[in-house]
Structure 1
Amino acid sequence: MKLGPYRKIALDGLWHNNQALVALLGLCPLLAVSSTVVNSLGLGLATTVALVFSNGVVSLIRNRITPDVRLPVFVLVIAANVTVIELLMNAFFHDLYKILGIFIPLIVTNCAIIGRAEAFASKNAVDRAVLDGLFMGLGFTAALVALGAFREIVGTGALLNRAELMFGETARNWSVRIIENYDGFLLAILPPGAFIGLGLIIALKNVIDARAKVRAQAAAGQPVAFTPAVRKA
């Protein structure tokens, strides 16, 4: 079995075509609930499960629906999956479900999910569609968690606050104080802090990509273009 296509799917989902950092899809829930790591992880995993099952079902039925009704059918498939996820979260993670609130059912309207169904799942076999959904979801979750960690540390000086919401009573003492005697920075946990944090994460990714491109060009013996520094008189 050739692993090349599967490796590309994984790298695209996690990095090269990350839905939050490259495609910039699904930003509304990403910015709204990413005030803590636990909130971010909860929404990210719910979105990942929705992506996996929606992609799988869309791939299974892709040859049985006409192009005229494909989008309404895709939305129905996604809505059915999200309804099941919402009910399960309400049953097993009720307190976290109440915090995430409307953003759980709004997964139905997440552009990343309908986009992957239309652009990939409807054109590929089930195994590739499911793998695409998994890694697109994990990439989205990673971006959410990174943003949540940044905002939580800067905003409160701690990490993993209220971890028991997801991991049960055993995680009640998992909170870690990163900055001692810190009064907090309110802007970080407000909506503007989400935009600032996301911008910094995207900038960091762009720097990493640019440096990786330079190293690849140098390794291949290609000329590397440097931007000359501008000196002020």
Structure 2
Amino acid sequence: MCGSSLYVYPMQCAEEIYPWARAISAEVDRRVELQIVASGAVPGAGIDIPSIVLASPVFAESEAEATAALALLETCPVRDRATIAVPYAPSDLDTWYAGVMSNYPTGYRYGTDNMWTSATAEELMPGIRRILETMPPHPAHFLWLNWGPSPQRQDMAYSLEDEIYLALYGVWQDAADDDSHGDWARSNLAAMEHLQTGVQLADENLGRRPAPFATDAVMAELDRVRSVYDPAGRFHSWMGRV
């Protein structure tokens, strides 16, 4: 079965939420995807002030298992300041897709970037403060995704992952805002680059901020295969490769 929890906090709770999220990252049940989204508003919930949303889908065999898997999220140190708190509710994939995609409207302009990290909360918080202080209006947002310790995987081409995934989405409509909003994601993560272990090939910005997305061993294997099947270099190499 599919369910979820939902908590919405004022942005002023950031100093407590992110260190707590980092502290529990290894304890989050593998059936739960802890997503933390900070934005200037949450229109879907009727909230028009800067807020931090903890939205966490869970897949379990029963409602009791789902509720137990989500219980850790009730330990947030500012739980009593939540403007919305739903520890568990049944859900389905269609509802989740609709909710997630409300953050990515069509017809808008986008500037994105991301990073994997295992840095401590103390190391991450200066950059997170800067992200929140400089964030453009909604629907621009900052995503913290708990990945947790992952098992070793063999033969994984996109072979970089880490405990925490951070992604920034500058989202705006007017081309006149390109200069003020367009570099928000890239510049903030460039400032945190010393804390990254790489990027995910998803909403990255390789064209403007080259970063590793696979291990050196995997890239060496790619070069070997290319030398056999594309010796003349007809196919373009990976954009932004470092």
Q: Which has the higher contact order (CA 8 A, sep 6+)?
A: 1
Higher strand share: 2
TM-score (norm 1): 0.31
Determine which structure has more spread, i.e. the larger CA radius of gyration.
1
TM-score (norm 2): 0.30
